[in-house]
Structure 1
Amino acid sequence: MKPVRSLARIMLSGIFVVSGANTLKNPGRVLPVAKPLTDRAAPMIQSLHPRIPTDTETLIRANAATQLVGGLMLASGRFARPAALVLAGTLVPTTLAGHPFWSSDDPVQRNHNQIHFLKNLGLFGGLLLAAADTGGKPGLRWRAGHRISHSRRSVQRAVRTARRETKIAVRSAATGRRLPG
């Protein structure tokens, strides 16, 4: 199953690597579309930390760089699950700013944006699956539960052994015999 997972991750990440690289090279092409969204998000970003730059071009470049790096990580399989979650997060503003079909009056433009919106929604679903995929290995929750269960059994064995040795020591002391060892 590993080759299928690897191929699927590479195919899923391709759009993020290419669009991230293109947008980093030329952020001006998406500037007019992204400006309304970044203007609304700027006060919220400033409230997090006043030194974070909130100009539209910087935010576009940050999103593009995140998509490029996240796409490469997903494709390579290195930190693929966190990368998929980060990519899913970058897809939200990209989709809202780039494909607002609900605000278009032109039926052709509305249809075009709706198709791309739904495509991005499908990518979002694929990224969520990639984020949940453990590669056939047990997930962190199972491993933690298994480790706790294993530790509990080890403690129970140690308690039983201590009780048994205590009983032997008490019997030996009662009969006056010396313990071996």
Structure 2
Amino acid sequence: MAIDALVKPLLALPLFKGLTPLQLTEIVRCAERIIYRPGDVIIAEDEASDAAIVIVSGNSIRINDNGDAPQKSGGETLPEGVMIAELAMFIEIVHATTVIAQGQVKALRLTRQKMHEMMEADASLAQHFSSCIVTRLKLLAKDVKAVDTLIGAVTTAPQSPPTRANVPVEAHPA
């Protein structure tokens, strides 16, 4: 597959927006190119990962731990262009789900070792990824704070006094 066709999926991913064409090309050159056959496990739940996977072409499906689809629709279909286990190219992670190729899937495997080597060689690449991750963490913290505020408002809401049925004034003893 031509290098341009492999760079194209990265251009659509927020983590790679803002990188130079040379940086993107170098990332693709260092990536492992993999072809999964129908039914191949792309990632497996509870297994450690050392790489992110970018689906270049083909579809895959995310399933839960016991092999059953988490939704009645048969699982969550992951389309072309999606990145699986994004943080695995930076830090150690354990997969929380299983992803299986539905048909032939062509993918790029971005290993932690290669990404670390590239960031050591190009400080601006490391700065870019760091900035993206910090921005996401700030958004996550803001969302968590908003949820916490909502939960706090629900649990600390003043209790209204018990209501009495409307009883005619004449019925009340004097």
Q: Is TM (by shorter chain) over 0.5? A: no
Indicate the structure with greater strand content: 2
Radius of gyration: which is bigger? 1
What TM-score does the superposition give when structure 1 sets the normalisation length?
Answer: 0.35
Structure number with higher relative contact order (C-alpha < 8 Å, ≥ 6 residues apart): 2
What TM-score does the superposition give when structure 2 sets the normalisation length?
Answer: 0.36
